[in-house]
A and B are shown apart, each in its own frame.
Chain A
Amino acid sequence: LAKTTQPISMDSYEGQEVNITCSHNNIATNDYITWYQQFPSQGPRFIIQGYKTKVTNEVASLFIPADRKSSTLSLPRVSLSDTAVYYCLVGATRAGSYQLTFGKGTKLSVIP
């Protein structure tokens, strides 16, 4: 299972764009990159998933360079309610048993 490295914490003001970068140097060919958001005492919430290039949905964008050794989650115009821990995970989703191994995550604090 590929190991991921993220910043422990980040601060941002309301209304700003936040970019959280995750390193996964030993990502395998079959691995997808998935980001989750977790609030205290709640289960993680799926944000976005991608394999390469750029993926965008209604809440975030995910940028993945050609070598796939890193990825960046982009949250546009954050609000106070985006204060949470964000986890980057890599794993194969298309075959076999897919286990998600959680790293320490990035604690994002949005400041008014």
Chain B
Amino acid sequence: GAVVSQHPSRVICKSGTSVKIECRSLDFQATTMFWYRQFPKQSLMLMATSNEGSKATYEQGVEKDKFLINHASLTLSTLTVTSAHPEDSSFYICSARNPSYEQYFGPGTRLTVT
């Protein structure tokens, strides 16, 4: 199947700082990527849809100024958590849609804000 990578896999940051997470589709071009957040023992929650060359579409309740998304190329989308707080600690997962409309997920990034 298609491969989607995320970097970093784990990150610890101090409260008030910003953290950038990268999502890459390694063997296909993805015009659309998605960002999810998952809290312990809960399901994945869609945060935003990232479209190459245009602004991201955010789900209700997700602050666009806090979670900055940039889809700079057909293989790269980034999520920047600005002014992170402990409640932003979570497992962040991206997915990318291939030309056959199948979605493949990255391995996730564990963010801990101290």
Chain A interface (Cβ within 8 Å of chain B)?
34, 36, 41-46, 49, 87, 93-94, 97-105
Enumerate chain A residues within 8 angstroms of B44, measured Cβ to Cβ.
44, 87, 102
A-B contact count (CB 8 A): 54
A99-B34, A100-B46, A102-B45 known; A46+B106 contact, CB < 8 A: no
Q: Are the C-beta atoms of B95 and A98 separated by less than 8 Å?
A: no
Q: CA A45 – CA B105 in complex, angstroms?
A: 7
Size bracket, chain B contacts = 20 to 34
Q: Are the C-beta atoms of B32 and A97 separated by less than 8 Å?
A: yes
Q: CA A93 – CA B102 in complex, angstroms?
A: 7
Chain B interface (Cβ within 8 Å of chain A)?
1, 4, 6, 32, 34, 36, 43-46, 49, 57, 91, 93, 95, 97, 101-108, 110
Enumerate chain A residues within 8 angstroms of B34, measured Cβ to Cβ.
99-100
Q: Are the C-beta atoms of A87 and B43 separated by less than 8 Å?
A: yes
Partner of B110, one of A41, A49, A94, A101: A41
Q: Of all chain A residues, which has the CB nearest B100?
A: A93
The binding surface of chain A is classed by DSSP as loop
Min C-beta distance of B95 to chain A, whole Å: 7
A41-B91, A102-B45, A104-B43 known; A46+B104 contact, CB < 8 A: yes
Min C-beta distance of A33 to chain B, whole Å: 13
Q: Are the C-beta atoms of A105 and B95 separated by less than 8 Å?
A: no
Min C-beta distance of B27 to chain A, whole Å: 14
